[in-house]
Chains A and B, each alone.
Chain A
């Protein structure tokens, strides 16, 4: 059986590996700038799908279905991103007689709408962040708005229905500020989105982002897994994920798992999915969780769940797509064995405000050894394209305790080198030394606050010992090059032993002149 992998980069490599392990033939696709990409080399077959911009290649449903037809693939794995949560793609696969490795188009549509997903969660008896049932009518009275505010409680958020990127959103500390905030958020949303309707939601102060992975088969089995903690975020993008969460009690774990399974059942869900929750740990230690949204795909951070449960989620996805029944022991899925942490190694320069840093990977040293997993998507010599997400690899570590996992993470980060492009590795080396990281004392806005306070101070400090080491290495290198040049001059030919560098070639030419 053949599987078309409608993606690129590390996740396409990850899926190709799973295919090989299951005896399935993998079919990669590549845009014009990806011919030399690792995901092409990891697959059994590979076909071109057009120009680098994603909408002309990885987002072009017609071209992808064309490759499926040509190669004889019967399954389509969308990975994450690109078309993974596109109901039209799921529909198109079904119409072409292909099996989409993921949920039905109906499930994707239901969970893709924030309001429909929230309604589905409420109907399944799952707690949501308390708020108004819908937007206020345009002629809502001041008395009505104030009464709703009192019912929800302060502090609260005024949110525009059409809002996004912080526009049309106001946090309100007390009753006195509510009416003004509703008015300004409404007019801001009207000018930005052409829709002035707003609603109210309780503001959870210093929330944590905790999510529950689940797998569901077409025979009615739904298996929720131990939670992932993803509170370390930069501008709402997850940066570090771990499992389990240090702030989730066994009781809350089981309650969240039950809620996640209830949402999945109510949506007739099949395949891998994730329910995201906001976790509010009150000063008295009480844990409250609220449904945020459902992601109808495999997630970037799925390896931490695999590391603490020993269950391969991509194997599960493919087996479920082929109609098999899940045979996972529910207790095993819900019981973490040790602790796992993932860092997203991204081609961004943390010392330049995390600016993308595309370029050629001149050299790569990937950490190995006990408890270390690297899900990489690039090889040495590869030019990281400017067209796509700049994730290079996911470094995942496992330890029997969180402390051991952190020690292992620091060790692995000290071994990891991506030469030629700037990456987030120096940032992670800094992050893993922060006391709040060690004590897991963070929330979703913690990292942004700490970064703002640093005011661009570099993450890499070059110590005197580093300087001395670099001087010695540079001197050894200069000496080796010079010796080779004089040796070449004597023998009258270019040396063939050491790694050739442009500088070396230049100095050689100069020496011969």
Chain B
């Protein structure tokens, strides 16, 4: 069984041979072999990776095929077989990033217009919610493709605000 696993902009090809001894999984990550003993826990898996202890919880991600793997100290969003899925469902163009309202609120300022180049983490929009002004920053460097709101607008959580390509 093979999977394409994408995280942090990197793609890993994993092949799993289920029939290893004693319930352990033999897998290769980009060709590199590793033996994993995996047991389900209430929140995810207890793993022994070549004898090293690894506790991982798993929750749903933002979209189908996306999960979040919670390791000690860090949570990592992961997509599984995203390219296969994309081929099927023809989702929006590759590399396009959308900024959506993380909570209901009011747009205070829009700091960029279509065509502007933005850097990673550059503030692009200011939303007021819970009595605080919050800057929303660019999730990647790129060009503003669309600004879908105007200052003063009240927005619901999840409303599309800005598209960066």
Contact = CB atoms under 8 A, between A and B. Distances in A.
Given A473-B56, A501-B58, A355 B40 contact: no
B80 interface: yes
A475 B44 contact: no
Nearest to B66: A503
Given A356-B129, A363-B43, A501-B58, A469 B64 contact: no
Interface in B119-142: 121, 129-130, 132, 134-137
Interface string B40-63: 101111010100001011111100
A479 B16 contact: yes
B5 interface: yes
A475 B54 contact: no
B58 A473 contact: yes
Interface stretch (B69-77, B90-98, B110-118, B147-155): B69-77
Given A356-B134, A386-B104, A499 B42 contact: yes
B106 to A, nearest CB: 13
A94 interface: no
Contact of A473 (B16, B69, B129): B69
A503 B67 CA distance: 8
A474 B43 contact: no
B102 A355 contact: yes
B5 A469 contact: no
Interface string A464-481: 001111111111111110
A472 B47 contact: yes
Given A419-B43, A503-B64, A474 B5 contact: yes
Nearest to B76: A470
A358 B14 CA distance: 35
A120 interface: no
Interface residues of A, number: 49
A386 B137 contact: no
Contact of B36 (A355, A420, A476): A476
Interface of A: 349, 352-353, 355-358, 362-363, 365, 386, 390, 413-415, 417, 419-420, 426, 429, 456, 460-462, 466-480, 482-483, 497-499, 501-503, 506-507
B5 A471 contact: yes
Contacts, number: 162
Contacts of B75: 417, 419, 460
Given A365-B43, A498-B40, 9 more contacts: A357-B102, A363-B57, A363-B70, A419-B75, A469-B71, A474-B7, A476-B47, A477-B45, A479-B18
B14 A471 contact: yes
B135 A470 contact: no
A363 B42 CA distance: 10
Nearest to B30: A471
Contacts of B14: 471, 475
A498 B41 CA distance: 9
Instruction: Give the interface centre of B5, B8, B44, B73 by most chain A CB atoms within 10 Å.
Output: B73
A188 B72 CA distance: 50
A419 B68 CA distance: 9
21 contacts: A355-B134, A355-B135, A356-B130, A365-B57, A415-B72, A417-B57, A429-B73, A462-B74, A469-B49, A469-B71, A471-B5, A474-B5, A474-B78, A477-B44, A477-B45, A477-B67, A478-B80, A499-B43, A501-B59, A501-B60, A503-B64
Give the interface size bracket for B toward A. 35 or more
A313 to B, nearest CB: 29
Given A501-B60, A503-B61, A474 B134 contact: no
Chief secondary structure at chain B's binding surface: strand
B74 A460 contact: yes
A420 B57 CA distance: 11
Nearest to A455: B121
Contacts of B10: 467
B36 A352 contact: no
B28 to A, nearest CB: 10
Contacts of B137: 352-353, 456
A477 to B, nearest CB: 5
The 6 closest A-B pairs by CB, nearest first: A473-B56, A355-B134, A470-B76, A475-B14, A470-B69, A474-B78
B38 interface: yes
B53 to A, nearest CB: 11
Contact of A419 (B70, B81, B103): B70
A456 B121 contact: yes
Contacts of B102: 349, 352, 355, 357
B52 to A, nearest CB: 9
A470 B60 contact: no
B60 A503 contact: yes
B8 A462 contact: yes
A473 B66 CA distance: 13
Contacts of B42: 499
B54 A469 contact: yes
Contact of A358 (B40, B61, B64, B103): B103
B135 A352 contact: yes
A477 B7 contact: no
Instruction: Give the interface centre of A349, A363, A472 by most chain B CB atoms within 10 Å.
Output: A472
Contacts of B61: 503
A473 B6 CA distance: 12
Contact of B132 (A356, A471, A480): A356
B49 A390 contact: no
Contacts of B64: 502-503, 506
A479 B67 CA distance: 14
Nearest to A456: B121
A399 B105 CA distance: 43
A506 B63 CA distance: 11
B74 A473 contact: no
A419 B70 CA distance: 8
B108 interface: no
B150 to A, nearest CB: 21
Contact of A470 (B40, B78, B103): B78
Given A414-B72, A467-B8, A470-B7, A362 B60 contact: yes
Nearest to A364: B43
A473 B44 contact: yes
